A = this chain, B = another copy of it.
């Protein structure tokens, strides 16, 4: 910057002013600005973001915490975040939580050392208090996907997956005639799991259907492998025909593969309903009937909410944005 200043025949602070985009015009003479720009070009000068960050306490960096980069559900979300962030001149840090509370805490530690301007978390196990601490300690804006948070400054995007699951189960009964409907879930500590479980339970109650213990499991972990394993466990204690709702598509696809491997026909012997509508859902055979989320829209909303706050367009209380879902009927149920 000093070099630029020398070439342009001005002081370093004038260069700084000329280059700082937010203080548009007014602060520096048009003629001076031009000289500075010429010098910048001539010297091929680039501002150093590290120095700028140190001084301005702003990093032009956002972090995205997802469960796992290899779960396709997150791709359209992350990709949208990356693209929008890029337009705003921001870079994107991506970390995986593997649905683990410990890794989320680890993530917070990282963020404490390398402050970012904004954080997007999907999903998250942190308590309101922990989120609050993260905010006050780092000064970052936070937006999340999910509705189990109530912090005055944390905007969230949410999908009513309790109701979505409810409707899915009702549909399995009313449209497909299933009486025996199972549930492949995850431990209570994995956020969207319990909500979907409640939707299932409510639906079964409203339908007057018994919940068969043999058809219910919380041993999944959102992975394809866990779907295979859990369906195997179920089949070792009870026999088809039945239908089963899997907490996400990866699990559903695993369950489907396992059922096929054990010689059962889908959906005749075992009907399977998933959740998410990831790309693979349409690719597998039989293709997966599932409750579709709209990840691109989710990504857009999250990023919008975040930049609204990062760029100070919004300072008021937490906002909520709901994104729709829909049942996509394919072959597995």
User: Residues on A close to B: CB < 8 A?
Assistant: 46-51, 53-54, 59-61, 68-70, 72, 75-76, 78-79, 82, 86, 91-96, 110, 112-115, 253, 257, 279-280, 283-285
Q: Would you call A82 and B70 a contact (CB within 8 A)?
A: no
Q: How far is the CA of A283 from the CA of B250 in the complex (A)?
A: 11
What is the minimal beta-carbon distance from A105 to any residue of chain B, in angstroms? Answer: 13
Cβ of A70 and Cβ of B75 under 8 Å apart? yes
Contact check, B93 vs A92: say whether CB atoms are below 8 A apart.
Answer: yes
Cβ distance A129 to chain B, nearest Cβ, rounded Å: 15
Q: Which of B54, B68, B91, B284 has a CB less than 8 Å from the CB of A93?
A: B91
A-B contact pairs, 17 of them (CB 8 A): A46-B112, A46-B113, A49-B113, A49-B114, A50-B59, A51-B54, A54-B54, A61-B114, A69-B75, A70-B72, A70-B75, A72-B72, A86-B95, A86-B110, A91-B93, A92-B93, A94-B94
Q: Would you give the shortest CB distance from A276 to chain B, in whole angstroms?
A: 14
Contact B69 A82, beta carbon cutoff 8 Å:
yes
- Complex interface: chain B residues within 8 A of A47 (CB): 113
Q: How far is the CA of A94 from the CA of B85 in the complex (A)?
A: 12
Name the B residues within 8 Å of A280 (CB-CB).
279-280, 283
Q: Would you give the shortest CB distance from A134 to chain B, in whole angstroms? A: 12
Contact A82 B95 (CB under 8 A): yes
Q: In the assembly, what is the distance between CA of A68 and CA of B61, in Å?
A: 20
CB distance from A268 to the nearest CB of B (A): 17
Q: What is the CB-to-nearest-CB distance from A308 to chain B, in angstroms, rounded to a whole number?
A: 23
CB distance from A289 to the nearest CB of B (A): 16
- With a cutoff of 8 Å between Cβ atoms, the chain B residues found around residue A115 in the complex are 48-50
Which residues of chain B have C-beta atoms less than 8 A from A95's C-beta? 82, 86, 91-92
In order of increasing CB-CB distance, the 6 nearest A-B pairs are A285-B285, A70-B75, A49-B114, A50-B53, A50-B54, A46-B112
Shortest Cβ distance from residue A83 to the other chain B in the assembled complex, whole angstroms: 8
Bound form: Cα–Cα A203–B91 in Å: 44
Give which listed residue, B76, B93, B96, B283, contacts A70 with CB less than 8 A: B76
Report A157 CB to chain B, min CB distance, Å. 20
CB distance from A202 to the nearest CB of B (A): 32
| A91 nearest in chain B by CB position | B93
Query: For the complex, what is the distance from the CA of A174 to the CA of B93, rounded to whole Å?
Result: 48
CA A13 to CA B130, docked complex, whole Å: 32
